[in-house]
Chain A
Amino acid sequence: GENVEQHPSTLSVQEGDSAVIKCTYSDSASNYFPWYKQELGKRPQLIIDIRSNVGEKKDQRIAVTLNKTAKHFSLHITETQPEDSAVYFCAAVISGYALNFGKGTSLLVTP
C-alpha cells in the first residue's frame, strides 16, 4: 500500500514564527493530499488539502505545497499561535479509496 513518511515527529516554535512539516509518499498514482489537525483528546479534522493538478494552496495562515516529481508535499503555518499546538497528520489516498496517514507531528507553540 501507499507509504507516507512524515517529518519531524515533534516541532517546537515560538509564537509568531513559522512551522513547516514535510511528507513524502511512494505511490505516483496518488492524487489527493490532505492535512489533518488533531487537538488533545479530539478527533482529527481536515485543515487543508491539495489535489495533484495544483502545486500550492493557501488558506489564511496555512499553505500546502506539492511536488509531484519528487513525491513530497509540505504544510506551512505562518505567524503561529498557541492554539496551533496539536498533532498534524499528512495523508495520501491508497487504493483509490482510503487515506493512509503519516505518523504525525506534534507541534508546540510557546508564547
Chain B
Amino acid sequence: DTAVSQTPKYLVTQMGNDKSIKCEQNLGHDTMYWYKQDSKKFLKIMFSYNNKELIINETVPNRFSPKSPDKAHLNLHINSLELGDSAVYFCASSHLGGVAGANVLTFGAGSRLTVL
C-alpha cells in the first residue's frame, strides 16, 4: 500500500495555464505539507496543514492555492503557470509533536511539473 501518493507524476503544460496536483496519505497523520524542489535540488517548504487548517504559508506567490478537504488529503492548485514554476513538487505527511515519531516526514514520489 502506498503511504503518500500524489498525482500526476508528470505534468507538462504551457505558460499561463492552471493545473492541480493531488495528494493523499493513508498513514493516519494529522499534518501534511507541500515542498518544492528546484533544479538545484533545494527542498523548500511551501505550505503545511494540520487537521485541515493552514499552519505554515511560506513566501509563495498567491497563484499557489492549497486546499485540504480532510486531514488525509492536500491538493495544490497553481494558476497562471510561469516558467519558474517548473520543479518537482513533493507532498509529505507526519504527526505533529507530542507523539513518538513526531515530525518524521514521509514523502510522496513527487510530481514533476514542466512549464513550456
A residues touching B (Cβ–Cβ < 8 Å)? 1, 32, 34, 36, 38, 42-46, 49, 87, 89, 93-101, 103-104, 106
Contact = CB atoms under 8 A, between A and B. Distances in A.
B56 A98 contact: yes
Contacts of B44: 101
B104 A46 contact: yes
B75 interface: no
A97 B43 contact: no
A34 to B, nearest CB: 7
Contacts of A45: 107
Q: Which 4 A-B pairs have the closest CB atoms?
A: A43-B107, A101-B43, A98-B48, A98-B45
A43 B48 contact: no
B97 interface: yes
B50 A97 contact: yes
B107 A44 contact: yes
A95 B108 CA distance: 23
B1 interface: no
8 contacts: A43-B107, A44-B43, A94-B56, A96-B96, A98-B33, A98-B56, A99-B103, A106-B41
A97 B42 contact: no
